[in-house]
Amino acid sequence: MAQSVMFQGTASDSGKSWVAAAFCRVLKQRGLRVVPFKSQNMALNSFITEHGDEMGRAQVFQAEAAGVKPDPRMNPVLLKPSTDQDSQVIVMGHVLADMNAVTYHQYKPKLKPRVKAIYDDLAAENDVVVLEGAGSPAEINLNDRDIVNMGMAAMAHSPVVLVADIDKGGVFAAIYGTIKLLPLADQQRIKGIIINKFRGDKRLLESGNQMIESLTGVPVIGVLPMTDIDLDEEDSVALTRKLRRRDQSKALDVAVIDLNKISNFTDFHSLEIQPDVSVRYVRYAEELLIPDLLIIPGSKNTNEDLQALKETGLDQAILRAHQQGSMVAGICGGYQILGQQLQDPEEVESTITQQKGLGLLDTVTQFNQHKITTQATAKRGHLVLNGYEIHMGTTVLGPNAHAFATIITNNGLDTNRSDGAISADGTVWGTYLHGIFDNAKWARQLLNQLRQAKGLSPLVDTTLSLSAYKEQQYDKLAQTFEDNVDMSKLNQILSASVIDEGEA
């Protein structure tokens, strides 16, 4: 079996996804075959593999860091919350069912042997598996059926390194409380502690580190600094750190509506790295103003998010911004919101069976049970665009809209069908293609169109491709990790993870 190590956190957004990605890149640089693994992920940021399987984006960027193709085995269970009570349960890339929290908790024992078998498959094919937990292992109300934290560590016979976020405050209490709430057998699985997001002089932590080591018996093996490394974020909690006001030093103002059930906000990462673009996330009508480009992103519950826009007055703010010169774009659920009407007679998304859209596109969307999950290649004019689709709904165009693009392949198979819609004057458009802005040449043409509308000269496309940019960031992340973690201790933890089959 492969060697393994599991990174668990004292809380969500502690940075365990980045730490796992960093170690994946370090091991790749050593020439090892390494893969990430997170048995259960709850996130609205997802990705479609080349075979049409859906998985969490955190394991996608960890796979990129490891230099391997994303594989749904790396994230066998994905939970996508659709309401405060219910989630869509996706197993090995495909929808199993919609379940509430209690039903899913009762169902987890049925998933456990399948998760174990999937993990064993990956472990048999690779030198190292880098596992990630979810939330905190000290969720004592759920631990009896856990399949993602200590329950998974037990199945994988994997040592655990606890990642603690000092930026939240109370880091030593979080470390101590997390460890001491666990049963003794699980406490003994924790072999190291990494303190993350530290600002300042690490010498100030030395006495505290010594005390927590004495109190818990677990060594602090690293203190990672707060950095400017720019990678995809998994958790929507990360949106709280996103820019809320325009960066006045940038020529173009792009405003993204921060929907309650926003999904795939990583669609806009490639805009954030453009030299002339300020991307900000807007939750309130008074914040919107008149951006150069206004984007309504994807949503896991389009009808409820549209209803919320109306309740907060953001719907009228969007219409005013368009009237005063903003280009308006919609991605996936945002595209549906821009239409004349949303119909959900079977209550696929919510109990709202019919609702007027914003009316900026001449389209009607009807939701249905069939979920489309494909990688897609499209043509818009002479340009070829790559992206992926994740949606439950069919959109029909009226006479005052025409297709945004033509899909020419789905999951590598030839096809010929329309995607999206664009208004007659070109100021409003929508598409089902996630990752549309990752197409650097097309994105620069669009941005230059916005520049010219303001009387600015177009920019020559000198920015790195998103993939090249990410590679730089993964290398930078790995170097930061090696510079601030006791690698000899981590190597010892990893080496001790292999056990004899008889002991298993």
Task: Please check whether residue 198 is in contact with residue 225, taking contact to mean a CB–CB distance below 8 angstroms.
Answer: yes
- Residue 434 in any domain: the answer is yes
Whether residue 216 sits in one domain with residue 332: no
User: Are the CB atoms for 367 and 379 separated by under 8 Å?
Assistant: no
Please report, as a single letter, which amino acid is at residue 163. Answer: V
305/207 same-domain check = no
- Specify whether the CB–CB gap between 198 and 224 falls below 8 A: yes
How is residue 504 written in tokens? 């298993």
| Whether residue 409 has pLDDT greater than 60 | yes
24 part of the active site:
no
Domain containing 384: what range?
Answer: 252-453
* Inside any domain, residue 502: no
User: Pick from 327, 329, 335, 392: which is nearest to 363 by CA?
Assistant: 335
Statement to judge: residues 224 and 260 lie in one domain: no
Percent share of the chain, pLDDT over 70: 96
Phi, psi at 298, each rounded to 5°: -70, 160
159-199 pLDDT, tens digit each = 999 999 999 999 999 999 999 999 999 999 999 999 999 99
Residue bearing tokens 């057998």: 185
Pair (211, 73) in one structural domain:
yes
User: Is 238 part of a structural domain of the chain?
Assistant: no
- Whether residue 359 is found in the same domain as residue 486: no
Mean pLDDT of 341-357: 92
Q: What CATH number is attached to the domain comprising 372?
A: 3.40.50.880
| Structure token digits, residue 177 | 């409380």
The reply to whether 282 and 215 lie within a common domain is no
In total, how many domains does the chain have? 2
Cβ-based neighbour number of residue 68 at 10 Å: 17
Rg from Cα positions in the chain = 23
Whether residues 123 and 268 share a domain: the answer is no
458 belongs to a structural domain: no
Same domain? 298 vs 327: yes
| Dihedral, CA of residue 73, residue 392, residue 64 and residue 444, to nearest 10 | 170
Amino acid at 23: F
What DSSP designation does 456 have? P
CATH number of the CATH domain containing 96: 3.40.50.300
Q: What is the C-alpha to C-alpha distance for residues 8 and 233, in angstroms, rounded to an integer?
A: 17
Q: Is residue 142 part of a domain?
A: yes
Q: Which residues make beta-bridge pairs with 95?
A: 90
Catalytic pick from 269, 322, 391, 434?
434
Contact 502, 238 (CB under 8 A): no
Does 38 share its domain with 143?
Answer: yes
Q: Out of 105, 332, 370, 391, pick the active-site residue.
A: 332
pLDDT (tens digit per residue) in 46-104: 999 999 999 999 999 999 999 999 999 999 999 999 888 899 999 999 999 999 999 99
Domain assignment present for residue 81? The answer is yes
**Is 461 within the bounds of a domain?**
no
Instruction: Say how far residue 504 (Cα) sits from the centre of its chain.
Output: 34
In this prediction, residue 504 has a pLDDT band, given cuts at 50, 70 and 90, of very low
Same domain, 444 and 475: no
User: What does the alpha-carbon distance between residue 187 and residue 178 come to, in Å, rounded to a whole number?
Assistant: 9
Q: Are residues 52 and 118 in the same domain?
A: yes
What are the pLDDT digits (tens) for 233-249? 766 666 666 667 888 99
Q: Are residues 196 and 108 in the same domain?
A: yes
**DSSP per-residue string spanning 133-192:** --S-TT-TTTGGG-SSSHHHHHHHT--EEEEEEGGGS-HHHHHHHHHHTS-HHHHTTEEE
Alpha-carbon dihedral sign for residues 18, 21, 25, 27: positive
Selection from 259, 264, 275, 269 nearest residue 311 by Cα = 259
C-alpha separations of 348 from 287, 304, 351 in Å: 32, 12, 8
